[in-house]
Structure formats: C-alpha cells, structure tokens
Structure 1
Amino acid sequence: MLEAFSRELRKARTEAGVSQEELAHRAGKSIRYISLLESRKHQPSLATLKSICDGLGITMAEFITRIES
C-alpha cells in the first residue's frame, strides 16, 4: 500500500505540473517531507493526506481510488 501511495503521489504531482517545492508550499509541509513521502520513507496522517490532495486539486476519494487501481 505504501508503495502504491508513493507512486500515485508522484504521478498526481507530475500530472498537475507541480514541483515538490510547490506542493510542499500548498500543503503546508516541508519539501523534505514530500520527498520522504514519495520515496516510501513516511506515511501521512489523514490530515496531511487532505492537505496534499487539496494542494493537488483532487479529492481524497479520487486519490484513494487511484491507489487502489
């Protein structure tokens, strides 16, 4: 599950045309934290997942569906 999360986070960010730095800014997180999420070194809380999805302009439901696919 963590691998799928990391892969889809990077994919969604890339598709949105957003850098790690910009996503970190939008989500109120550090660039390092976004990098750790994308490299499977951390798991986000639900609150963090919500802020990341908001930063990407997608719903949590949409993102979870992508992970499950």
Structure 2
Amino acid sequence: MERTNARLIRAFGKVLKPKRREAGLSQEELAFRTELSPSYISLLETSNRQRTLTVLAELANCLGVGLPDLLTEVMAEEASSER
C-alpha cells in the first residue's frame, strides 16, 4: 500500500496557508501554539512534509476550525487538482 499521496499533501499545503492567514497567525505564532517549529509549519505549507492525525487535529484547533471541516476543504482541493 502506498503511504504517501503527493496530491493530498499538496492540497493540504494549499489549504493550510490561507487558513493560517485567515486566523491572523504568522507561521511563528502557529508553531508556538502547536508546539511545532516554524520551519515545520513552512514545510507543511510548501507540501514538503506529511503530517500525522495528531498534528492535523492540533492545527485545526489552533486555526479555529473543526478537523472534519479542515479535511473536507483538503479533500475538495485534492479533487479539484485531479481535473
């Protein structure tokens, strides 16, 4: 079974950055709130890292969105990139 999905990783990066900006957070502030490094946040936004479910849940919480809503947006972004 393939454990990476480049389209899904790119879709997450495309959703994360605007969500962070909508929340009025810098990469540094989001990193502080999630106890991640600013460089890791950057790697997520540029689609250079996969994240765990735990990290997804923490990011959604800090961005003020529900995890299901965040995942729905990511899946919609992935679907639109298939076309």
User: What range is the shorter-chain TM-score in?
Assistant: over 0.9
Partner of 2:60: 53
Aligned length: 69
Match among 28, 37, 58 for residue 30 of structure 1: 37
Q: Structure 1 residue 68: deviation in Å?
A: 1.8
- Unpaired segments of 5 or more residues in structure 2? 1-7, 77-83
What TM-score do the two structures reach when normalised by structure 2? 0.79
Q: Secondary structure at the match of 2:65?
A: coil
What TM-score do the two structures reach when normalised by structure 1? 0.94
Q: CA RMSD in A?
A: 0.8
Percent identity over paired residues: 39
Q: Does residue 49 of structure 2 align to residue 11 of structure 1?
A: no
Task: In structure 2, give the amino acid aligned to 1:15.
Answer: E
Residues 8, 66 of structure 1: 8 Å contact kept: yes
Spell out, residue by residue over 1:26-50, the C-alpha distance to the aligned partner (whole angstroms, 9 max, x if none).
1110001000100111010000111
CA distance in 1, matches of 2:65, 2:53: 15
Q: Which structure would you say has the larger Rg?
A: 2
Q: Does residue 47 of structure 2 align to residue 62 of structure 1?
A: no
CA distance in 1, matches of 2:18, 2:67: 15
Q: Deviation above 3 Å: which 4+ runs of structure 1?
A: none
